[in-house]
Structure 1
Amino acid sequence: MRFGKIDYLNLLPFDVCVKVYPLPSYMKKCIMLKKSYPAKLNQDFLFGRIDAGFISSIAGYQSHYTHKVCPTGIIAKGAVWSVIVKKGSGFDYQSDTSNALLQVLGLQGEVLIGDRALLFKHNGGEFEDMGALWWERTGLPFVFGRLCFRAHGKLIERISRVFNKHYGNKHKKIPYYILMAAARRSGLESWYILEYLEHIFYAIGAKEKRGLERFYREVRLKRIKRPHRF
């Protein structure tokens, strides 16, 4: 199985889950092998270079309607901290969904996502939080990414169920050595990472589905281009 994983702090709990989930060691290695930023994984998924992974919601549009998705995603219910707009102009090459959300919200500015956004916020930069703006406008969660698959659906769905059970809407318990490694890699303090993770949810329920459908409708109405193979 070829699995694609977003290499950001928001999936740190998923790393923990993979380490403790009863899978063969070679399978765990496969899941953790392919790491990149969201837009790159979107292309890998659409071109069939990976079988499954956390894909940006806008790139998972087709998977959503063909039911090749799991009830697991990267979700904000208000301020998210890691998807922001600062003064400037231009899209973020790392994220297709956040660039689309910028247009849906009618904002102008430069998009920052992931660990770069967290560093910018931590250093006191001025910005608008797109998760908070979406929540204020719709009263619905925003699903930034979705666990999608092209193959190995049953295995991915089992992993999704276990992950949701332990991390979907609960306090994220991160082993000390994993947390310290993430802090060194990102340049952020460990307490700040834990505080950030309190703003991230993973289990997709009825409200999350409504938020996703609302986003897709806005994308269609505004004729925002979705990622395609060609």
Structure 2
Amino acid sequence: TCFLQKHIRNSQFHLAMRSGVPRKVNSLFKDGKVDGAFISSILSENENCGNLGIIARKDVLSVLVLSGENIEDSESQTSNMLSKILRVDGKVLIGDKALIHYFQNRNGIDLAEKWNEKFGKPFVFAKLCYKKNLKTFKKIENKFLKTKTFIPHYIMEKEKKRLGLSRNEILFYLSKIDYFCDKKKQNGIEKVPC
């Protein structure tokens, strides 16, 4: 996120980055209120998207289903659909809530891991798609994919405080995520009914 915010000066794109909640970001993009955003992979099929995404290498820790009553997460269409495809019943938990739960309790079914076990492919949660300025977005995407991921100290400290997690826990989580959506990962998206 820091890299993209530094290299994209378009305020509309910044709005999509700040909104955070996947369902809201999807809506802003679909309504044409932002030029580019990481949108849910299930909505990316007919959009202009490149090779930059948010992909679970295997497990992801931030998309869990907890035992109990079936309750969807209001913030994510993709994770709710994923739980149905995989026939995993329970309460869907995503993002910070799931991450904090994982490190505090070490339980829950990791939907990305379950997907990988079933299909043998990483799950693509989101792809960077754009409506305008395609050349600019492609240029930034290519630069990002060639850049080693780096988290500035002040951001790490802020996230540690916000989440109540240690530096090692945050780095462990980030090690689970890939950003390059190659053909194998793209094939994984095609297994998701739109």
TM-score scaled by structure 2?
0.91
Count of residues in Structure 1 that have an aligned counterpart in Structure 2: 191
In the alignment, which residue of structure 2 is the partner of 1:182? 159
In the alignment, which residue of structure 2 is the partner of 1:201? 178
Alignment check: 8 A CA contact 1:141 1:211 kept: yes
In the alignment, which residue of structure 2 is the partner of 1:9? none
Alignment check: 8 A CA contact 1:59 1:96 kept: no
Percent sequence identity is 36
Secondary structure, aligned partner of 2:54: strand
2:97 maps to amino acid:
R
1:160 maps to amino acid:
E
Structure 2 unaligned regions, length at least 5: none
Q: Specify which of 115, 121, 128 is matched with residue 109 of structure 2.
A: 128
* Aligned: 1:87 with 2:67: yes
Alignment check: 8 A CA contact 2:42 2:189 kept: no
Alignment check: 8 A CA contact 1:134 1:142 kept: yes
2:45 maps to amino acid:
Y
- How far apart, CA to CA, are the structure 2 residues paired with 1:141 and 1:193? 20
1:183 maps to amino acid:
K
TM-score scaled by structure 1?
0.78
The runs of 4+ residues in structure 1 deviating greater than 2 Å are 16-19, 28-34
In the alignment, which residue of structure 1 is the partner of 2:191? 214
In the alignment, which residue of structure 2 is the partner of 1:152? 133
Alignment check: 8 A CA contact 2:13 2:36 kept: no
Report 1:101-112 matches (<5 A).
101-112=82-93
* Aligned: 1:44 with 2:28: yes
- How far apart, CA to CA, are the structure 2 residues paired with 1:100 and 1:186? 26
- CA deviation map 1:82-122 (0-9, x unaligned): 01100232111111111111111111111111111000101
In the alignment, which residue of structure 1 is the partner of 2:57? 77
